[in-house]
Structure 1
């Protein structure tokens, strides 16, 4: 069911924005390189920008219709907005910053204050001043303030961009908890593919002011052209395959979890989630080895049979190999050296076995885990 509908055009100097997409419940990620028009789009949804033409509606209520001269001001849209910087009131304690959100509460049923404080682990911070907070703590307070305003929609404009890697890892589980525990539609802007993979249900890819792809996270971000667009062709450390799977069984004796989906099964270290729970995986192309014969006597547990679907040059000395699994449910990418591809005589249509050395668990576990498969 469509919750948010956006169609707009806007020119700002030499830059032209012309985007259209729909968002459902859950998290919609808008991803693209710097300057693609992501923030400009978010500002238009919030009412902070004035598109030249367009139509924006939320839950059936029209916020913008330039043909009918309709423009609902931002304070009447009841949309929460979290910026790159926390933008807390420096003279107020954390508690009073949170209470400001309560004073701006919209018509939606409020999320209880204690639930927000607990969800974001803010209780021990309530009497502190903003200058005594880390970047991650300040951003959690900003998110809490936005939630306590009882928004109909939460917009997050690269909320992790100003944080270092350590602080990003600190705050990511809290964002995942918002996704899992609140029935609040969220639009999350980022230029970081890992963030979108972990948090989003759907993704919209923006490039030079245009939507170039949209849909399910795995469907869109597994495309080679999209990964090259977002990551850059030189970033071979992050390219790979995204898989949406489910927990089939747990083996407590071996401390393993068996996952199923896309026509095959994988084993990873025991996950703290119930049977049937969804799990999103990332397989780095660098962590996939190719065998041209059925492997024997290996410690690697995760071996997937398939055939070579694509062979593309990657950088100066590598080959990007797309392996279509035997059941046809997924294409797994492997990155091998040109020399290895030549010695193995790799060609399209050739039967091969993909050996998965490492699996990154992302999106449904509350924290990122790396699973060695041997």
Structure 2
């Protein structure tokens, strides 16, 4: 199932003017507030008819100059920021409302189990936490047997604890294989969930690609965040002192993870936590020192972004412009990347799936 969008629609300060395709899995629509993200998903859902262009899903035309399928006939699930549950209905009744729209007898038991809703079925929304409400909203959307799921900032209104509660359920949902458009301006959510990122700014697509590629691209909007790399790794061994050795394509890394040997992780490395040395340093406490090659130097006022190539992996280092000049950094120069002490960011660790996330933080 593939979503195909090519539309143009005037807004107050700019025109939404974009084209893209989204296949199975999570496609994140990333951009700051006011970039046109919600307008885009409203057009896909049928809540807005674009002035020009076309929207098709799985070969069915949903919207073009002469044809417009109303929202209730599109079989698209839509989850809003605030859940929008019916306050006078129980969780069970809210869920069955979604199934009523499908006309296909969607599997209530499977959805309830997948989202962990069994103990909540007789409660009304007033007795649910924010995370529980969002899980019910997702379940209701799934029970309409959607061909496509739209998630518009589903975690934006939640605190850190509630986000940590619901993220594992979103990961399970990702494994279902249906196309999902996930609207967000959170780099952490995008890295954890998305297979592809589309960057949106003032109604136009400014970039797209895999999250790891976008993070290490200095021209990307994602690279404006503090995160500078997403490197796949596998827990290879555990040392007596509690550190684990992780094998990566860039070289071995040592991290304080409790994940069992064989676990596959993504290591999130912040650009300000990377130091650069022209020769292998000695007499230093850092354990994670990897050979690299300077690929790009991007001056940014008193700072400089240095894109490093570590075998097949890329990494961004944010250093002062004075340091970049003192080291004489130019493309093609061999060097070493020094990663400061790495600590687990508890709110970012995946549970129940084979992909986890670590966050490199300076100590």
What's the TM-score once normalised by structure 2's chain length? Answer: 0.87
User: Secondary structure, in 3 states, of the residue corresponding to 1:71?
Assistant: coil
Match of 2:317 in 1: 334
> 2 CA distance for matches of 1:281 and 1:367?
8
Map of 1:86-125 to 2, 5 A cutoff? 86-105=83-102, 110=106, 112-125=107-120
User: Secondary structure, in 3 states, of the residue corresponding to 1:131?
Assistant: helix
Return closer, same or farther for 1:255/1:177 CA change in 2, 3 Å cut-off.
Answer: farther
User: Secondary structure, in 3 states, of the residue corresponding to 1:117?
Assistant: helix
Return closer, same or farther for 1:129/1:315 CA change in 2, 3 Å cut-off.
Answer: farther
> 2 CA distance for matches of 1:252 and 1:291?
27
Structure 1 residue 185: deviation in Å?
Answer: 1.6
Return closer, same or farther for 1:255/1:43 CA change in 2, 3 Å cut-off.
Answer: same
The answer to whether the Cα contact below 8 Å between 1:313 and 1:319 also exists between their aligned partners in 2 is: yes
The answer to whether the Cα contact below 8 Å between 2:243 and 2:254 also exists between their aligned partners in 1 is: no
User: Secondary structure, in 3 states, of the residue corresponding to 1:70?
Assistant: coil
> 2 CA distance for matches of 1:77 and 1:302?
51
> 2 CA distance for matches of 1:47 and 1:226?
30
Matched residue pairs, number? 356
Structure 1 residue 165: deviation in Å?
Answer: 2.8
Match of 2:214 in 1: 220
> 1 CA distance for matches of 2:245 and 2:62?
47
| Structure 1: stretches of 5+ with no match in the other structure | none
Return closer, same or farther for 1:187/1:278 CA change in 2, 3 Å cut-off.
Answer: farther
Moved more, 251-260 or 207-216: 251-260
1:211 to 205, 209, 218: 205
1:132 to 127, 147, 160: 127
Residue 182 of structure 2 is aligned to residue 188 of structure 1 = yes
Match of 1:321 in 2: 306
The answer to whether the Cα contact below 8 Å between 1:300 and 1:373 also exists between their aligned partners in 2 is: no
Residue 336 of structure 2 is aligned to residue 353 of structure 1 = yes
Match of 1:62 in 2: 61
Deviations 1:140-165 (A, max 9, x none): 11011111111111100111112223
Structure 1 residue 345: deviation in Å?
Answer: 4.6
The answer to whether the Cα contact below 8 Å between 1:308 and 1:351 also exists between their aligned partners in 2 is: yes
Residue 1 of structure 2 is aligned to residue 8 of structure 1 = no
Residue 48 of structure 2 is aligned to residue 49 of structure 1 = yes
What's the TM-score once normalised by structure 1's chain length? Answer: 0.85
User: Secondary structure, in 3 states, of the residue corresponding to 1:51?
Assistant: coil
Moved more, 332-341 or 287-296: 332-341
Residue 17 of structure 2 is aligned to residue 18 of structure 1 = yes
Match of 1:85 in 2: 82
